[in-house]
Structure 1
Amino acid sequence: MFLNEFYSQKDSSFRFTQQQASRFAKTVANDYNKIHDVDNKRFCVPGDLLFAVSLAKFGLSETMKIDFTGMVKNDTDLQFSPLLDNKTEILNSEQKSFMELELSGQSSHDESIISKIIKEYVQFSGKNFPHVMVPLMRTENLMFNPARALIMYKSMQINMLRVDVNSIELIFDEALIEVQGKRATVTFKFDFYEGDNKVGTGQKEMILSGLIPYEESVMAGVIADYQAAKTKYLAAAS
């Protein structure tokens, strides 16, 4: 599977280098968040990469519920806890949890479909900023503080009507924002289609903290910096 180049496995444990995780964010997810830059002191592995590894290991289940419970640094030995009552966690050697996963229903291990879902989902996820999140913040007249941006991946869920599909496409449905004081929960909803037939739904949730009044000029600067990082990376990679 294409995912093998983005992590390494030894026996029951696996790990990510900064280069692997950063390359996944940029080349697969189209995500240029600075926290995934190899030289960032706050570097963390993309949550979407943890989800992708989970799909590769356990396959596609009719229902998959994921809660992100910690931020993974590079070169951390990780493993899945034993699957009990259809639940497992990603843990480090000190048993610290970084992700909780609950599975139910039928499952598929069709590698081509799993690879397609990974690419479809993470590419959709990478478009959340600025294309979807900025208009939402603008409507609420609130934004994250660029000087102390705290945007956390909270959870995601997939609900498939069936997993025996021959092709699959993710289509964005809607995004919602719920503000609670200085925090907000942003929910991105999407559907899965096989041709013209809807075969599943899903959603992801992000937490925004330290909200401040929306300033168009400041957000324009954030977007410009983001686009500049993307242009610089693509130019260096070409």
Structure 2
Amino acid sequence: MFLAPYYNESGNVVNISAEQASLFAKSKCQDFNPIHDPDSKRFCVPGDLLFALALCKYGISESMKFEFTGMVGDNVGLLFPQHDGEQLTVTNEQGKSLLDIIKQGNSSQDLTLIENLINNYVLFSGRNFPELLMPLMEKHQVMFNTARPLVMYNSMSFDLQSLEVKDELQVKLSDAYLQVEQKRAEEFLHFDIFDGDTNIGNGVKKVVIGGLKPYDHEAISAFSEAYQARRSTF
């Protein structure tokens, strides 16, 4: 399976090392959020990797929602339910919920379709910063703390009109906005899913941004330039 380099599985327990998670974030998503660096004190596995593993295990349904309910650290044992139903919860070995999944409608186990959707969605998802988030922060005159950025994936959902894909999928932004409340903001990224030139679905990704402070163009621009340099030299 194409995700094999990014996780280990023994029996019914899935483990993801910090190095595997960081490689997935950088190579598959072009996501250089410092929270996914192996040496980060606040390291967590990217939500996009958990999303990808869930699709590989349960297939793609016409309607799916993923809510991230806890952070996954280095080599945390993950339990993906062995049963398949409309509501599923991925937990750690102590039973704490980490990812809630709701799926409805017809489903497909087509590995080509699954890989196609994963590759296109996570690339869209991982490029949130600076392309999408920077203009929104400037518009609202707020920004995260560049010394301790806290930009966390909260949830995503999508609805598909068809599981019969004939061409390469494309995930395209349809709308993006911030809802700001004191020191916290929620970012919503609405997207459309295309099969070639045909729109076959839509969805939304929600991101929570903590530790907001007044917008400082010089500081956030310097952070963005350093971020882009990491991306270009990877």
TM interval, shorter chain, is over 0.9
CA positional deviation for 1:228? 2.7
Contact 1:113/1:166 (<8 A) preserved: no
Residue in structure 2 matched with residue 137 of structure 1 by the alignment? 137
Q: Which residue of 1 aligns with 2:208?
A: 207
TM-score, normalization: structure 1?
0.94
**SS of residue in 2 equivalent to 1:120:** helix
For 2:109, the equivalent position in structure 1 comes to 109
Distance 2:40 2:142 in 1: 26
Gaps spanning 5+ residues in structure 2: where?
Answer: none
Once the 2 structures are TM-superposed, how far is the Cα of residue 81 of structure 1 from its aligned partner?
3.1
- Percent identity (aligned): 39
Alignment partner, residue 218 of structure 1: 219
**CA separation in 1, counterparts of 2:84 and 2:127?**
35
User: Which segment is superposed worse, 75-84 or 182-191?
Assistant: 75-84
**How far 1:60 sits from its partner (Å)?**
0.8
1:128 aligns to 2:90 (yes or no): no
Q: What displacement does 1:149 show?
A: 2.1
2:71 matched to which residue of 1? 71
In structure 2, the residue matched to 1:26 is: 26
3-state SS of the aligned residue for 1:147?
Answer: coil
C-alpha distance in 1 between matches for 2:73 and 2:211: 23
Return the alpha-carbon distance in structure 2 between the equivalents of residues 49 and 84 of structure 1. 20
- After superposing on structure 2, the runs of 4+ consecutive aligned residues of structure 1 that deviate more than 6 Å are none
Q: Please state how far the C-alpha of 1:181 moved relative to its aligned partner.
A: 1.9
Alignment partner, residue 45 of structure 1: 45
Corresponding position: 1:147 with 2:139: no
Whichever residue aligns with residue 227 of structure 1, its letter is Q
Q: Which amino acid aligns with 2:101?
A: L
For 2:73, give the aligned amino acid. K
Quote the residue 2:195 is aligned against. 194
How far apart in 2 are the matches of 1:86 and 1:133?
Answer: 33
User: What is the TM-score normalised by the length of structure 2?
Assistant: 0.95
Q: Distance in 1 between matches of 2:98 and 2:119?
A: 22
> 1:194: Cα distance to partner?
1.1
Deviation at 1:208, TM superposition (A): 1.0
